[in-house]
Amino acid sequence: MVAKYSAPTADSSKAPVAIKNALNEEPVHAEFEHPELLSVYPDTKYDPIPVLPYEDRALKADPTFKNLLAGDVTVTHLAPKIGTELSGIQLHELTDAQKDELALLIAHRGVVFFRDQDITIDQQLDLGRYYGPLHIHQNLGHPEGHPEVVVVENSLAKSAALLKNQQYVPANEWHSDVSNERQPPSYTSFKLLTNPSVGGDTLWASGYEAYERLTPPMKALLEGLTAIHSSKARTGRHVRDHD
């Protein structure tokens, strides 16, 4: 027997289908706990992002990680090819040598996690500036006074809008941030402030390992292809000319 699935069509006369969690429970929404971080959308026009000279701090790192992993630091690898958790470190206290080694560790492991961080938003920005100029997401809102910050929040109003439109956004699934830029950011720093008791996972995958597992013919096929990375679907009427 072959099961057939018909994609839902837009019909404003029908109520949206409620989405339940993995335990078949109705979702519970709470008020956003950090109103000072709610996004604003100023009437600002940015110049095209220039291609800047770049110095990879990982190239200056000690490959033994003798500074970053000194003392009572605990290292836990979360998967064979990607993901490492470090405990016993406060990011806002890192020395320059430790920051360089962190860059190298990220290059090796793809993503590195730290729990129970006391870092403030300004300290987090300072850490990012150590590695280079900060990126401004030109078509998204940001907290007042912090254009380099993007806040990801799933408020009741936002969830209701998604349900009403039966909206599925492929860009919210597997993706690489702002790959349409001529010079995409090398690092992303993500701080979790509030998380649900069930679900709400953010997942990472290794594109390098995915490629290595392909068959030789598939690798050869992909190596002969080109792709256009565009921001038109997200920017809508705010599309700027990249030429």
- Which tens digit of pLDDT belongs to each residue from 78-131? 999 999 999 999 999 999 999 999 999 999 999 999 999 999 999 999 999 999
Which pLDDT score is estimated for 202?
A: 83
Per-domain residue ranges of the chain: 53-132+154-170+186-214
167 CB contacts (<8 Å, ≥6 apart)?
161
Tens-place pLDDT, residues 27-43: 666 677 888 888 888 88
Q: Which two tokens stand for residue 104?
A: 């190298």
Which pLDDT score is estimated for 125?
A: 97
- Report the DSSP pairing between strands 74-77 and 112-114: unpaired
Q: What is the largest CA-CA distance in the chain?
A: 63
Tens-place pLDDT, residues 182-219: 888 999 999 998 877 777 778 899 999 999 999 999 99
The owner of tokens 């998204």 is 140
Contact 151, 142 (CB under 8 A): yes
Integer Cα distance of 174 and 203 in angstroms: 8
Residue 25 scores a pLDDT above 50:
yes
Q: What's the mean pLDDT when you consider all of the chain?
A: 82
Q: What percent of the chain has pLDDT over 70?
A: 75
Which pLDDT score is estimated for 87?
A: 97
Beta bridge partners of 87: 74
